[in-house]
Structures are given as C-alpha cells and as structure tokens.
Amino acid sequence: MTSKAKSKPGSVIFVTGGAGFIGSNYLNKYVPVRTDTHFVCVDSLTYAGNLKNLEIQKSRNFSFERSDIRDKAALLKLFKKHKPNGVIHFAAESHVDMSISNPGIFIETNVAGTGNLLSIARETGVSRFLHVSTDEVYGSLQEGEKSFTEESILAPNNPYSASKAGAELLARSYFKTFGLDVVITRSSNNYGPRQDTTKLIPLFMTRLLKGEKVPVYGKGNNVRDWIYVEDNIDAIDTVWQRGKSGEVYNIGGSNEIRNIDLTKKLIALTDRDEGAIEYVTDRPGHDFRYSLDSSKIKRELGWSPKISFESGLKKTLAFYKSTSSVDNSVQRIRTMQKSS
C-alpha cells in the first residue's frame, strides 16, 4: 500500500535527533510550513546536538524534550504525554572513527535505541515510522562498479555502518512481523549549514579558515557521493508523505568525488594552497567508494536534487564564515571518546 499525507491536521510527530545536523534542518524548514502539525523534538543533546541549531523553538507547533533513546522508560513517558501519530527517526551516533575506538555506544544507541522506539511506537499505535539510514550499510564499491540500488545486499564494514544496518533490519522486522507502517531512507554523505565540525567538509572548512592544515586519509583516493542537506530533507519529507510502506528509498546527490579532489576544491574556496594538506595514516577498513542509484525515488515519488555541488559548497562556506567562533574539532573528538 502507498501511504499519503502523513502530516495530517492535528498530527503530532516525534523527530528524534532533531537538534542535530539533518534533523534541525528538517525542523527549521517544515515546522513553519505545517502549522497544523505539532513537532516534538526528542534529543539528548550530545556533542552533535545543539539547541542553537533550532530556529523554530518559539513556534506554537513545536516542543522540545531532552531524552535519550536508550532510556526506554523515559521514552514511554514522552509517548504517553504527547501521543504522537508518527516518528521521524534521525537520532544516531554517526562518527565512524569513534565507532572504531568505541563500538559499544553505537550498538546501544543505533540498535537498542531504535529497538526501543519501534517497540513503543507499536505499543502506542503510531501510524508511521520513518527510519533515516545511510548508504554506508551497503559497504564499499570499487571504481567502475555499478551504483548501489535498494536491492543491493547490506555489507557494512565498520561498527557505525553495521549498527545502522542492524537498526534497519529491526525496522523491517516490525513492518513484516507486526504490520507497523515503516519506511526507510538511505542517503549519501550530507553537507551544509549546522553540521558538527568533526565531519569532513565543516572540519576542513573551519580549519582552512583558521589557517590550519587538514588531515587527508591515505592518498585521498576514496570516493564519496555528496548531497546538500536541504535536498536530503526534502527527499525524506517526500518519503514521509508518500512513500510506500515497507519500502527503502536511496537518496543520492550524484556528486561523486575523490576526497583529495574535494580537499583541493575547499582549499581554492578558502584561498589557501595545497601546503595545507597533511596526509595521515588511513582509517582501518576504510570503504573505498560509495555511490547510490536514486532512480527509484525519482521515478516513484518525483524527487530529484536541486542544489548543485558548487552552489552547496558556497552556501556551506558562507555559514561557517558567519559563525562567531570555530570549534577545536580534534579536542571535541577526544572528549567524545572519553565520555563514551
């Protein structure tokens, strides 16, 4: 069956991880548009979540609840308090390097936390559950191999992507076994305003703006497909509104580029030179290439990306130039590791 118009008048939607990068961009765009829907942001405000990301905090159709999805009892209280019709699940630990050094928190948050949400959603009669996932669940491609489709096998290669695959399989099981209306999105690498500065593009931009060097793994030949965050949230909302129950939708930006070539683009945008590049020891199990075939969502739901890579990079750089201070990202990663 195809579900339509999930944000109906009077709806209450839980948006987990809504103070993070992608979730906050979603809320900032759609809270003002859907004034007859009440959005409840559920976020534990870890290193990646910040209330300053949310421009809509004073909106009448918005509420914030600080809660950890690993705490099932606390979650259940929130579900009983707000009685949501639906859940859009962004919340996740997503830093690959941290998952290599501390896999446990990824299992607890991404797998067990998602399991808590699915269980409560079923128990309380939630009408739709959208699980936001990643292209990394497919594993790695070599140069010249065909892009991943929704039918490609899941073959994750690091604890982060493995935990996201596990969460997906739980979501699928709740659709198959219990009939919960579940849809899943798998997007390529996001970039744009409000992204945590431990991620590649904001990390490199902020370091370059400060006159510092940027660390490139290995020789920088790894390939990623980049999508501007606004294109991704529009795709997610399209799936939320009109996606078919039980289906998975790839969301790619069709911007494949080697890390070293991206680094050189960022150097040019910030008026630095290639002396800013510092080659570092490669990441263990580093996936070589990600590439998504997004023809399904284009064909069935009519979505396609609108922001060119060059335009998106300029918008992103403008945001980080406008911020009053730049975080020490290395220190933030160390703090994350110690606290996990």
- Give per-residue pLDDT as tens, 126-147: 999 999 999 999 999 999 999 9
* 271 domain residue, yes or no: no
Confidence (pLDDT) at 8: 64
Would you please indicate which residues are annotated as catalytic (active-site) residues? Answer: 135-136, 160
Q: Name the residue range of residue 189's domain.
A: 12-195+226-254+288-307
Q: Taking 50 as the threshold, does the pLDDT of residue 269 lie above it? A: yes
- pLDDT tens digits for 140-167? 999 999 999 999 999 999 999 999 999 9
Residue 281 within any structural domain of the chain: no
pLDDT of 325 > 50? The answer is no
Domain membership flag for residue 202: no
For residue 154, is it within any domain?
yes
* Residue 76 in this model has a pLDDT that exceeds 80: yes
pLDDT number for residue 9: 54
Q: Hunting for tokens 């759609």 — which residue is that?
A: 30
Q: Is residue 27 part of a domain?
A: yes
157 contacts: CB under 8 Å, gap ≥ 6: 139, 140, 285, 287
Q: What is the CATH number of the domain that holds 122?
A: 3.40.50.720
**Count of structural domains, the chain:** 1
The pLDDT of residue 160: 96
Residue at 275 is within a domain? no
Report whether pLDDT(332) > 60. no
pLDDT for res 285? 86
Instruction: Assess if residue 217 is contained within a domain.
Output: no
- How many Cβ atoms sit within 10 Å of the Cβ of residue 236? 26
Looking at residues 12-41, what average pLDDT do you find? 97
- pLDDT bucket at 65, cuts 50 / 70 / 90: very high
pTM of the predicted protein model: 0.91
The secondary structure of 185-243 as a DSSP string is: EEE-EEESTT--TTSHHHHHHHHHHTT--EEEETTS--EEEEEEHHHHHHHHHHHHHHP
In a domain, 274, yes or no: no
Q: Which residue has the higher pLDDT, 324 or 159?
A: 159
* Torsion (CA) 76, 77, 79, 80 in degrees, nearest 10: 120
